[in-house]
Structure 1
């Protein structure tokens, strides 16, 4: 049988010199000191909230292949977490609290002082996510009611969970997205509303920045289901209304930016370097992402009334979206809405082929 050589990448430091109740060890923070030769391997580890620590039970001896666990059950060693194993390898998932150069302060580690660390990995939860996503009962419920989880999150005021879900669409975490989630949750609860994607509930947004994605996700009102109306006003505000035009307008207070910046004073420094000055040093980018994440979720904890004004309004609601006939452009041979063509002698030319001006919505708003 082949043998393999394992070299430690670091060492554990804490107050426990000898094995004791592992619950006691887990309760106290431990520091993992990574060897200098592996410094590069720590790049962007700040972005990993949870880590799997692989280590060597250096004060244990190989034992029998079965025995009693702490709970009194008789099990094989492969069905337990006993330190007495054929290979004295342990693995524990920990929470990363802090990084200082080559030192990682973690919580939840059940290794004692001077334990050799064999490897450090980003925690992998993909299997659990896959199991949840493939559950037939759960999927059956979602097929009949696709917004049931979002509706439950709204009812419970779980803005943190909604922010995580909204970021899956938005692509990153930021205070703007958090504010969109907060505003939309408040409006949905206040109006006791929900969207079925059939234009019975409409959101009128006055900006096309991060805020709007939070609104779209929570309310279920989107461009695709014709329930999101965009007013190019450049205000962090939106109105949620029913078909009768009665609704609620929520607008960010002009001092909201200063309130958020005061709550997270270090953010501006990293934002200036990474975003404004385009500095792309990996350590700086990692630090920026970490503090941006803290700022986004921290925004959820700022009192709602400090960030927003709320008032009842009556707004003009457009008719239900029409169903436009599709025709074929005579030049590119692509299908196109008839209303987006020029027509001549029973033939149609799309705007892009005809050179006609058409509206564009981008980061600068609506323009030709």
Structure 2
């Protein structure tokens, strides 16, 4: 009886500690959201922000800054961070590889190449065959195009690594090789055939939220909601996939089928976000590790549900923080957000590699 009571108290304490962790993460995210509205090339006071949101027609300059630039950009940064973070959680679980993320398995390179080819090809066809038409390829098609490219590249990396049983070192090497090849092809396409799109394409490939508005947010939101719904509804199958393959199979799980399903969900997360923001490097890799480190030595250290919820908040906060720094560090000029996330991610990747030996 005493043992049961002690276990109950331990579990209750763990739940309380986890709730505090979530609330602290949420508080940090809210503070960053407020900072995103306050700071920029033109700094605003909290009173000006409040008045602009409550009375949007009193100061048209402030209204334009908040409603057309900072608010949609902040929301989009959080949404993209959620997408990349959960894609990382899924891929690291499914492939059983702590180095797995959309960039290290070629998904980012495949999505980027697919988008660049379609945009440049669309420009060529429009100029030569439909000059009277304003835009041949609609913005709404970009997530679908990116998804096709990401899936193709991911399955190529998995196929190359299949004989080695998806070992960490082999998967990382194949992912780097395929990703480097695809990125080289992307740059060749942009520089050789980019024309008027060259500068815009290079900024997008660096990962940037520049000039993003509510149109982009409305485009990404349905993809995020669908992928989130599928992820949380099917999460029990992903929990089983944390076991070794024999144990998971003995529980009646079709490993190959569900592996493909969750890779598709992860591709939906990362490809849709990448189509809007460009590749934001290492978010999908480092956020799950940060969440696991925070939950280390707790009852929820291996709980995918608890890791996912914490990763969701950390991914949103980290991406939003990187975007705030990118547009305020040398304002009014901007640093691509993807450059900052990469600079943050590389040291953490080296630490992970060192731990993995």
Which entry has the higher C-alpha Rg, 1 or 2?
A: 1
Asked if Structure 1 and Structure 2 have the same fold, meaning a TM-score greater than 0.5 normalized by the shorter chain, the answer is: no
Higher strand residue share: 1
Higher helix residue share: 2
The bucket for the TM-score relative to the shorter chain is under 0.3
TM-score (norm 2): 0.23
Q: Which has the higher contact order (CA 8 A, sep 6+)?
A: 2
TM-score (norm 1): 0.22
